[in-house]
Structure 1
Amino acid sequence: MSASRPPVSVAILAFEQTSASVVHGMYDLFMSAGRDWGVIVDGRPGPCLMRPRIVARRRGALTVSNGIVIHAHAGFDKTAVPDIVCVPEVTIAPGEPLTELFDPEIAWIRQCHAAGAIIANACSGVMLPAQAGLLDGLEATTHWAYCDVLRERHPKVRVQPQRALVVSGDAHRLVMAGGGTSWLDLALYLIARSIDVESAMQVARINLIDWHAIGQQPFARLARSRQVEDAVIARCQAWIAEHYAEHSPVAAMAGLSGLPERSFKRRFREATGMAPLEYVHTLRIEEAKHMLETGDTPIDEIAAEVGYEDPRFFSRLFRRQVHLSPAQYRKRFGAVRRMLATHGGYAVPGKSPSSSSMTASRNAGT
């Protein structure tokens, strides 16, 4: 994203009949985009790439369905049309009428859509743009408990209950996530679409967002490879970020430092918290992760490209560090990246993963 481009503006709609977890959860993920990866990699926050605000009928406090108080930053009348409007779940019985309850919200959604905003809907929140007439003739999805009601009330809508994420409408400006915690998928998709895929992957890694429970290990190693203040060791970090696949990289770094090998290893551990060889393995594994996510290169070839002649040793090391085999990692995180890059036939326009986890490591070493 260009440094001169303003942050993507996001209005997260709040009303009494919703839950705080979706409203605040989406807010946190959008605020994380761009900002938090720098903290993990080099200890400094990056630029905020999105600017979320909680918007309601009126500015101020409102108590939502689970008893939590949400503070709306602005009312409808004081909110400029944002790039994205996020509609959270509606926590009312599926058969209950919506019109009288949500007339102001429905009117504001219709107004923002007419002005060019993306309308992104989590779970049963899709009932509001449906009531606004925005989904007529289009594919849509919602929580399974609301699918029959959506069909009955809006027979022109082509309901797709089996799909977790649907993108529809003119310029693909209507986005719907099916139910439950699929608002996480929705937020990642919006980050990928409005910024780039790599930013969405960073948010997924930082927040441990996955479609399966796998623990923290696939995400944790890069945090230990951040830039250090020792200028000699920092120079070695910069060099190894470009030459990690070479033979005898530790000896090469020691030679570059001008220090006796024992002194070099001691200073390197003091500066980075890792032995030099452990650091090299970390960089190699991070690059291997990116290659597994983004392509179909055979695992044996990936091992060779990142510096391991023995693919069995590489696989054992990868499993020990990541707690997944290379094949398991590719299956899980390759699917995440593909979902973000191309979902429902909609390719994120002009966006491709231009940098990898390895690039982040290289930036940390310069």
Structure 2
Amino acid sequence: MQLKNLSALSNAVVQCAVMLLVVHQVAFSKAEEQKPRLSLRQVAVKNIAYSSTGKYFAIPNFITTGSVGVFTVAPNGTIAKVPSRFTDKDFYRSRGVFYYAGKKDTLTDMVFIPLQEFSKGYTVSFANKADTLVICGSDKISIYTMENISLLKTIDLKGVSRAVYSNDNSMIAAVAEGKLYLLKSPDLSSILTIEPDNGCKFADVAFSSDNRFLAAYEHKNQMLDYSSRVRIFATDNGSEDRRLPWLNEKITTEPGNHFPLISYLPSDSALAVTLEKTMFAKVLVLKSVDGTVIKEFKGSCHAVSVNSGLFAAGNSVYNLTNWEKTGDITGAVTSMSFAPESPDLIVTTLDKVIRYKVTPEN
């Protein structure tokens, strides 16, 4: 009885820690769709990302299997009404990228960055408090600035599938061929490499808010058994800080079809983990200290908005202050991302990109 009481108290403390960082936020009531919707072709779109300023969002493989589409978001939230099918006449080329706009002297509505054809699908993420985009795939990490949409740096890294910035933008953590790589930003020089356990692979990674730790999503690499867990490492020397227990969910397909698979919640006291499954996929919220499951949601993707105190999983948006549902999302959602500085959410389904604004209560 005492152990149960202690466990309940511990869970309550963690939830309070998350809530205390967001109680000052406005209470939200519903998610309203923002037009237009964007059509997606039948290609691998592994994730979608908003820039930290909210001025841009990026969609890998949007035009071709070797491209990243970058949309400009106007101050009033509008975006380009682009056709579902494109021709060469829809674009003009400048400095190695293709621009879609009504006239060359107007604000660019959409740009696509041409890359090597890569059927497995590129992934994208933005730096914090900067309009800098990192693109992973086809054995390369490429960094672009949204100012003039120009390439800043490219390095070769075999099998790279994911890269994310630290919160101070001083480091980039990457996953390649099941290993973790910590790189210095902006020159992408190597800091350290972390090997998975025998018979395992890393699939995704997230930085703690103070940049001191990496939370890594690790899974078994066995036929029909890709059971997963979280391991946490120090960024200063790569030492293991702790490993959480294996999650009690059997996963029969290799994780990494969509991202993120792991994210820190406010205060770093909890982690969100997506368990990709053909049926009955789940998003779990775990205590970062010992892996105790705090919350469980249906869905194959998640997103966290620290500044707005919102959490999205599957087809719903929740308020982090009390975990109450604040809105619904349409369709079979495969990936999602919040705009860090506003309560704007963008999601991908099998054939659409849809944006939502989570509006405050009256």
Larger Rg: 1
TM-score, L = length of structure 1: 0.25
Q: Identify which of structures 1 and 2 has the higher relative contact order when contacts are C-alpha pairs closer than 8 Å and 6+ apart.
A: 2
Which is richer in helix? Answer: 1
